[in-house]
Structure 1
Amino acid sequence: MGIADRKLREKTERRQAILDAALHLFTQQGFEKVSMRNIADTIEYSPATIYLYFKDKNELLLALQTQGFELLVRELGVITSIEHPAEQLRAVGEQFLGFAFRHPELFELMFIMSGPMVAAQACAGANAWPGGGSAFAQVVGIVQRGIDKGVFRPQNAESAALMVWAQVHGLAALHLRQRLVVLPEERRLPAMQEALTLFYDLIRRAL
């Protein structure tokens, strides 16, 4: 391995070490309480070193958000074995909810916090959303295949995908933000699954 390759590898590893430490601290203490200095202290870097990789906290959050979407897209890959578009769409919803329950901190970064989006817009314009676009495109693609096969009626695939995206996101956010306290505790998760089933039954009749 040449000097340039070794330096690039070390830089990549150092950047990932910063991100790993940041996510650990965010999970333990919450996003608001963790500073760039806290992250630097955890991995025994100087704050100046952290700023060589991320100009501010929002940019660091955006990098973590992007990794979260990469993980989500990989987990959604299991749906490729499902042939029927309607069943694929249902599987996306179930995978999405499962992801939110397994990775609540990443879900917060990906779909609720504004900081990462501030950094995204500053870097690439108002319509930029690194990571989010690829995940949404998977949903659009499923809807479009359903339209092409005559499973769903002809319509704008993006609009239909947005409806699905918003429904599943809403269920996950209500759960993670403890807004399902309107239901008895033992009914919350079953009620979410029932709501998802009802939603997809409606979709299969309407789309």
Structure 2
Amino acid sequence: MRRKILDAAKTLFLELGFEKTSIRNIADAIEYSPGTIYLYFKDKNELFFALHQEAFMVLLGQFSKVTQVEDPLDKLVVMGKEYLTFAFENPELYDLMFLMSAPIETLDCCNEIWMEGIQAFNLVTQIVTECINKGYFKDQNAEDLSMTFWASVHGLASIHLRKRSTMFLESERIPRLERAFDVLIDMIKKL
């Protein structure tokens, strides 16, 4: 039942947006009463946040490929490529994770920390620190460089997912973003 609720909620959140989706809409979609949903989730915010957490688990699972790579700079490249692959193959999840503000607003009102964000950022920072320890990125701050890397790769994914790359032929869009990622890596290597 919990899975059924989450799947229906995800569909409605993406179709209608967070504000226009209600517990009643979700209940109608699964053909149960709203009371059934409240047995599993205290409110719409908790339900939305559960979807957000699930999406991060999928992304972090995709990052497991990074552990198979020895050189830290190669790890960073693989992580960036996996991030883009995840975004392009899972646009709905990426939307829930990074583009919709509702899950973070839920945390703000509860004075909680965004643990999924910290976990992902720490993983990037760990790899950047390994790079620094191996002699890459001399005189760079690991956290600052990690934020720059994450923001750059996120920007490439967002440009595509928000259809801001439609100025190019469809056949050029992904290859162009991949080449932009390669330029980013070349710039980082020169640090």
- TM-score, normalization: structure 1? 0.84
The residue type paired with residue 80 of structure 2 is G
**CA shift for structure 1 position 45:** 2.7
RMSD value over aligned CA atoms?
1.8
Determine whether 1:189 maps to 2:164. no
**Count of aligned residue pairs for this structure pair:** 190
Q: Deviations over 1:110-131 (max 9, x none)?
A: 1111111011222343xx1132
Q: Deviations over 1:166-188 (max 9, x none)?
A: 00100111101000122222221
1:34 corresponds to which residue?
21
Answer yes or no: is the 8 Å Cα contact 1:68–1:106 preserved in 2.
yes
Give the secondary-structure state (helix, strand or coil) at the position aligned to 1:145.
Answer: helix
- Of the three residues 32, 51, 58, the one matched with 1:71 is 58
Unaligned runs of 5+ in 2: none
Determine whether 1:22 maps to 2:9. yes
The residue type paired with residue 133 of structure 1 is I
1:198 corresponds to which residue?
183
**CA shift for structure 1 position 19:** 1.2
Determine whether 1:101 maps to 2:88. yes
- Of the three residues 157, 174, 179, the one matched with 2:164 is 179
Determine whether 1:146 maps to 2:125. no
> C-alpha separation between the residues in 2 aligned to 1:16 and 1:122?
26
Determine whether 1:160 maps to 2:145. yes
Give the secondary-structure state (helix, strand or coil) at the position aligned to 2:31.
Answer: coil
> C-alpha separation between the residues in 1 aligned to 2:33 and 2:56?
29
> C-alpha separation between the residues in 2 aligned to 1:20 and 1:197?
36
Determine whether 1:131 maps to 2:116. yes
The residue type paired with residue 120 of structure 2 is A
The residue type paired with residue 180 of structure 2 is A
**CA shift for structure 1 position 46:** 1.7
**CA shift for structure 1 position 30:** 4.1
2:41 corresponds to which residue?
54
1:6 corresponds to which residue?
none
Give the secondary-structure state (helix, strand or coil) at the position aligned to 1:131.
Answer: helix
Give the secondary-structure state (helix, strand or coil) at the position aligned to 1:191.
Answer: helix
Mark the structure with the bigger radius of gyration: 1
**CA shift for structure 1 position 93:** 1.0
Percent identity over paired residues:
46
- TM-score, normalization: structure 2? 0.91
Answer yes or no: is the 8 Å Cα contact 1:120–1:130 preserved in 2.
no
> C-alpha separation between the residues in 2 aligned to 1:30 and 1:193?
31
> C-alpha separation between the residues in 2 aligned to 1:102 and 1:89?
20
> C-alpha separation between the residues in 1 aligned to 2:45 and 2:167?
34
Give the secondary-structure state (helix, strand or coil) at the position aligned to 1:153.
Answer: coil
Give the secondary-structure state (helix, strand or coil) at the position aligned to 2:115.
Answer: coil
> C-alpha separation between the residues in 1 aligned to 2:39 and 2:115?
21
Alpha-carbon spacing, 1:116–1:176, altered in 2? closer, same or farther (3 Å): same
> C-alpha separation between the residues in 1 aligned to 2:171 and 2:4?
39
